[in-house]
Amino acid sequence: MSTSVATRPAAAATLTAGRLPRWTTGVLLTVCLLASLSFFAAFGTLGLIRILLVAVLLYIVVSVALSAAVEGSRKAKDRLATTLVTSAFGLALLPLISLVVSVVGRGVDRFDGTFFTYSMRSVVGEGGGAVHAITGTLWVTGIATLISVPIGLLAAIYLVEYGRGRLARSITFFVDVMTGIPSIVAGLFAYALFVIIFGPGTKSGLAGAVALSVLMIPVVVRSVEELLKIVPNELREASYALGVPKWLTITKIVLPTALAGIVTGVMLAIARVIGETAPLLIAAGFTQSLNNSPLEGPMMTLPVFVYRSYVDQGNPAAAYVERAWAGALTLVIIVMVLNLAGRLIAARFAPKTGR
């Protein structure tokens, strides 16, 4: 490049005049980083976040000034926007990285065999585990799934295959509104429902499952609805043309085509509700012992275990905090595995729409 510039200056000038070369960004960034690093090193106050922050601010000032001088104000604004938008993305990565590092770093201390084989029954101080909370989470989430999936699936089928007119429109609207219900309100609803049926103060795993269902149904409906919509209409028409009744067309043609996606949707919905704390704190309560009966007595769940361990610290406090972080790590792993598995299934078995 430089040789051609040297030999044919006039031609190059028309194309590259008033433009900063491509390597400007990289060089400027490195210079700013080094400047920031040496500045903080000189004062002996090194810190990753403050170095990055100052480097980015420095880069913004220098690059905009340079660009305004060489390229004009319009290009300078464009550079400013690019830098701001990119650093916004970087800014969002900071909490994510910090979360992962702290959850993994602090969670591994108690992420051991005892944690997964003992409950907290008559455990004071160190030792103990979350078996009661993990079983409770399985019970509550399992029942919530059993309630929500049939209702959500059938409602989605109604919306896509049958729904016309005002009823369908209002269901679509209120499903959307329902996704925004605060989780704690769902918990209060389940509590109020069970209080009216079983008397005051009732807390049980079933009530927790009902609360989670209120949160889970709209998620299932939305995802299944989207999937049924992309099942090609030609498949339905071919089935009708062979004289197959509508209900058999849906159960034998439409649902199997969308099955992988439906499984994904359900897994993502489970991942969404399995970390809910507030509704379970209210509807299912908390306990220190294993409870395998969802119908009677409070039932511990993993998110509530994390919350109670941290809030209700005994002596030594470190043991309780470590258990809370180990619980948080377990929870994050479960959610991530569900998310990942769901997306893998979706990518692997996506229906072929022919387009």
Partner 1 sequence: MTQIEPQQVADTQVGSAPTFRADPPPSQPPRAGAPGTPPKVVKRPGDRIFEGLSTGSGTLILIILALVAAFLVAQGIPAFTSSVEDLPFGSTLRYVVPLAFGTVWAAFLAMVMGVPVAIAIALFISHFAPRRLAAGLGYVIDLLAAVPSVVYGLWGISVLGPLVQPVYIWLTENLGFIPLFAGPASGTGRTIFTAALVLAVMILPIVTALSREVFLQTPRLHEEAALALGATRWEMIKMAVLPFARPGMISASMLGLGRALGETMAVALVLSPSAIISFALLQSTNPNTIAANIALSFPEAYGLGTNQLIATGLVLFVITLAVNSIARAVINRRKEFSGAN
Sites for partner 1 among residues 131-160 (CB under 8 A)? 150-155, 157-159
Whether 234 contacts 240, CB under 8 Å: no
CB of 112 to partner 1, least distance (A): 19
> Which of 69, 162, 229, 318 lies at the binding interface for partner 1 (CB under 8 A)?
162
Whether 192 contacts 223, CB under 8 Å: no
CB of 283 to partner 1, least distance (A): 10
CB of 6 to partner 1, least distance (A): 30
Q: Does 45 bind partner 1 (CB under 8 A)?
A: no
Closest CA to 139 of 230, 208, 69, 74: 208
Cβ proximity to partner 1, 58 vs 274, nearer residue: 274
Spell out the residues 6+ positions from residue 142 whose beta carbon is closer than 8 angstroms to its own.
Answer: 209
Q: Residue 34: left if φ>0, alpha if ψ -120 to 50, beta else—which one? A: alpha
Cβ proximity to partner 1, 4 vs 78, nearer residue: 78
Q: What does the per-residue mask of binding to partner 1 show for 207-226, with x meaning CB under 8 A?
A: -------x--xx--x-----
Helix (H, G, I), strand (E, B) or coil at 71: coil
d(CA 344, CA 268): 12
CB of 240 to partner 1, least distance (A): 5
Cβ proximity to partner 1, 3 vs 233, nearer residue: 233
Cβ proximity to partner 1, 5 vs 81, nearer residue: 81
Cβ proximity to partner 1, 154 vs 230, nearer residue: 154
Burial zone of 309 (CB within 10 Å; 0-12 exposed, 13-18 middle, 19+ buried): buried
CB of 274 to partner 1, least distance (A): 8
Q: Token pair 């439409």 is at which residue?
A: 254
d(CA 248, CA 231): 15
Q: Does 245 bind partner 1 (CB under 8 A)?
A: yes
Apex 127 CA angle, 121 and 128, nearest 5? 30
| Interface positions, 281-310, toward partner 1 (CB under 8 A) | 281-282, 285-286, 303, 306-307, 310
Q: Does 44 bind partner 1 (CB under 8 A)?
A: no
Cβ proximity to partner 1, 208 vs 218, nearer residue: 218
Q: Does 111 bind partner 1 (CB under 8 A)?
A: no
Q: Does 128 bind partner 1 (CB under 8 A)?
A: no
313 to each of 117, 305, 325, how far by Cα in Å? Answer: 21, 12, 13
Q: Does 60 bind partner 1 (CB under 8 A)?
A: no
Q: Does 328 bind partner 1 (CB under 8 A)?
A: yes
Site stretch for partner 1 (CB under 8 A), options 16-24, 115-123, 235-243, 288-296: 235-243
Amino acid letter, 241: A
Q: What does the per-residue mask of binding to partner 1 show for 179-208, with x meaning CB under 8 A?
A: xxxxxxxx-xx-xxx-xx---xx-------
Give the phi and the psi of residue 127 in degrees, each rounded to 5.
85, -160
Residue 99, both tokens: 């979360």
Burial zone of 156 (CB within 10 Å; 0-12 exposed, 13-18 middle, 19+ buried): buried
CB of 69 to partner 1, least distance (A): 17
Q: Does 103 bind partner 1 (CB under 8 A)?
A: yes
